[in-house]
Amino acid sequence: MTVAVNGEKIFLGTNGYPLQSAAVYGPIHSRRYGYSLGINPLPISYKFCDFDCVYCQYGWTPRPGSEVQRTEERLKSANELLSEVERIFQELTAAQTPVDMITIAGNGEPTLHPDFLKFVKGLVRLRGEYFPGKRIGILSDASQCHRPQIREALQGLEERCMKLDAGDPKTIEQINRPAGGFNLKRTIEALKSLDNVTIQSMFVQGTCDNTQAEQVDRWVNAVGEIQPISVQIYTIDRPPADSRIRPVPMARLHEVAEICERVAGVPTEVFE
Ligand code: SF4
């Protein structure tokens, strides 16, 4: 599915929400981060992820060999991506566009890019050239953070926001629907040994629910083990892949945050 915006073809997820249409997007302004520039090392015509979260804003993940993936937009090499990023960085600096932060995210899970370490090293170099002093962060599902090369890349960034929506494999299976090979215990161990991790957790209700007492207890235990520098919790505010899930009332999110702070001893903030 596509739409035309200002003559540009934009691809849509299965839920009708637009995918990012280039290797660099934004900047998007938020009170927290100021002007944040998004970096997408992934395809622009389909979501590329090893999770298939029920709440994903980009809709369901296409399975290998599915019709969407047969369009065969290939992943760009690190060098191709870096050339595109540099061209846009040049345009942004020439236009004096304000940029406060650079965030690697994009149409799926960025650490799945096969040249991720090389790409990150190049991006850090370009940041030094065009936006010196600005921070680079990542939004990741944490599935690859046990791999040595991915760890090296992650440690080269200033901010690591890593997903953890549950502390038990059954709930992860229901909410994140990971591809084969995901191992929650291994991920928790890997997160424990990364520096200055922020955990981001999405809570949902409806056909899947990670807000019940037992699931919250297990999630809090996992957070306590990891001991991140902070936890950010939130609920859906964009069209989810599964239209049968619902946002969680703010009152319950605040209860979950309070339990996390008290039991795990980690500052926990509700994103509204
Ligand atoms: S990890 Fe992120 S991109 Fe992947 S399915 Fe979940 S929400 Fe979507």
Amino acid at 222: A
Residue to probe by mutation, ligand 1, list 19, 20, 52, 53, most atoms within 8 Å of CB: 53
Q: What is the pLDDT of residue 75?
A: 92
Q: Which atom of ligand 1 is nearest to the CA of 49?
A: 4
- Angular region, 250: left φ>0, alpha ψ -120 to 50, beta rest: alpha
Q: List all residues 6 or more positions away from 179 whose beta carbon is below 8 Å from its beta carbon.
A: 50, 51, 52
The domains found in the chain, sorted by start residue, are 2-270 (3.20.20.70)
pTM of the predicted structure, to 2 decimals:
0.94
Contact 160, 229 (CB under 8 A): no
Q: What is the pLDDT of residue 73?
A: 81
Distance 94 CA to ligand 1 centre (A): 33
* Count of residues making up the chain: 272
Q: Which atom of ligand 1 is nearest to the CA of 176?
A: 6
Torsion of CA 24, 30, 35, 40, to 10 degrees: -10
Q: What is the pLDDT of residue 70?
A: 55
Give 94: exposed, middle or buried? Use CB within 10 Å, 0-12, 13-18, 19+: exposed
**Residues in the chain, pLDDT under 50:** none
Residue nearest to atom 2 of ligand 1 (CA): 108
Q: What is the pLDDT of residue 16?
A: 85
Q: What is the pLDDT of residue 88?
A: 97
| Interstrand relation of 205-206 and 245-246 (parallel, antiparallel or unpaired) | antiparallel
Residue to probe by mutation, ligand 1, list 15, 176, 202, most atoms within 8 Å of CB: 176
Q: List all residues 6 or more positions away from 45 whose beta carbon is below 8 Å from its beta carbon.
A: 11, 19, 68, 71, 73
Q: Which has the closest alpha carbon to 101: 20, 34, 200?
A: 34
Long-range CB contacts (within 8 A, 24+) of 120-124: 120/153, 120/156, 120/157, 121/153, 121/156, 122/78, 122/79, 122/81, 122/82, 122/85, 123/39, 123/82, 123/85, 124/156, 124/157
Q: What is the pLDDT of residue 140?
A: 98
Q: What is the pLDDT of residue 178?
A: 97
Contact 121, 156 (CB under 8 A): yes
* DSSP string of 80-126, one letter each residue: HHHHHHHHHHHHHHHTT----EEEE--SB-GGGSTTHHHHHHHHHHH
Cα Rg for the chain, rounded, in angstroms?
18
Q: What is the pLDDT of residue 9?
A: 83
